[in-house]
Amino acid sequence: MKLRSVDLNLLVALDALLHELHVTRAAARIGLSQPAMSNALGRLRTIFRDELLVRTAAGMQATPRALELIEPTRQILRRIERVFDSDSAFDPAVAARTFNIRLSDLLGVLLLPSLVASVAVPGSAVGISVVHLSPVGTVEALEKDEIDLAVSTALVHSTSIKSEVLLHDRMVCLMRASHPAAAGTLDLDAFLSARHLKVSMSSTDLRFVDDVLVGRGLARDVALNVPHWLVVPDVLERTDLLTVMPRRLASVLARESLAIRDLPFASDAFTWSMYWHRRHEGNSAIAWLRSRIADVARSVA
């Protein structure tokens, strides 16, 4: 098929249809009338020789071919947007743009309050959409242009990904202030004898604590494994569990009822870094966002 014979606006319609799975809602999403969207769906069905959306008892469902088109369509539209972005004069006061950022909830606690305040230029429509991805998923999302940038630690990536160190950190132990192990310096016997709370979404625990212990033939006794940090302070206040976390987060979460102690063994310090794809090196909008994040990180430091 010759590209010149295809109306590229149909890609916008296809993206809306695959997102909404409903002709009327898809039309409203991109400002078309319902008949115009129905016409677009008919043309798309002809082009792809597939029904794309089929009516079922549970509503409209995407066909296998349509499911295959979701990701390529969104990538193409993002790249087209980049082409028509002038980027030479990004003005947050008048820009209407949502930035897609990878942050864990840990990093969200550290950075988001100040970052949102920093980008909230009066009168603008600049927004931030946050996703939490695994390290491998983060690199893939950067490569596929699914996110604008990421903040993480020690990502393994190709030379197409650029990075900038934001914060230095180290792992510490957090526990109830009246915990027996909080009396004085925490030693290795007390650390290993206690039961632990572990946050399963945190790769820092594994890299800088569990791997170190395994190398010495040791292991923690994990009594509770949770996916998020929000519950940690309340659980620690009411139990004799210990947890290990980055010092910067511990400083934010710590209360009078909680105590921070150094780990009873050597563990390397590490850095939190900002990552972006080199395709955006000349993109003034993303450069503006990077500068805001760097400023916020300096204020945290």
Q: Over 60: is that where the pLDDT of 241 sits?
A: yes
Amino acid present at 63 = T
What 3-state DSSP class applies to 278?
A: helix
Burial string for 272-291 (b: 16+ CB within 10 Å, else e) reads bbbbbbeebeebebbebbbe
Calculate the alpha carbon distances from 268 to 8, 152, 169, 171, 204 in Å: 52, 16, 9, 8, 11
6 pLDDT tier (thresholds 50, 70, 90): low
Q: Over 90: is that where the pLDDT of 146 sits?
A: no
Beta-carbon count within 10 A of 237 CB = 14
Whole-prediction pTM: 0.73
Q: What average pLDDT does the segment 112-122 reach?
A: 86
On average, the pLDDT of the chain sits at 89
Q: What average pLDDT does the segment 204-220 reach?
A: 87
Structural domains for the chain: 3-84 (1.10.10.10), 98-160+271-300 (3.40.190.10), 171-268 (3.40.190.10)
DSSP-derived letter for residue 289 is H
Q: What average pLDDT does the segment 45-65 reach?
A: 91
Q: Over 80: is that where the pLDDT of 2 sits?
A: no
Unique residue bearing structure tokens 């996916």? 227
> Which range (12-26, 85-99, 119-133, 244-258) has the least confidence?
85-99
295 pLDDT tier (thresholds 50, 70, 90): very high
CA 292, CA 77: separation in Å to the nearest integer?
26
75 pLDDT tier (thresholds 50, 70, 90): confident
Instruction: Return the top range by mean pLDDT from 16-25, 81-90, 205-214.
Output: 16-25
The residue with greater pLDDT, 93 or 294, is 294
Q: Over 90: is that where the pLDDT of 244 sits?
A: yes
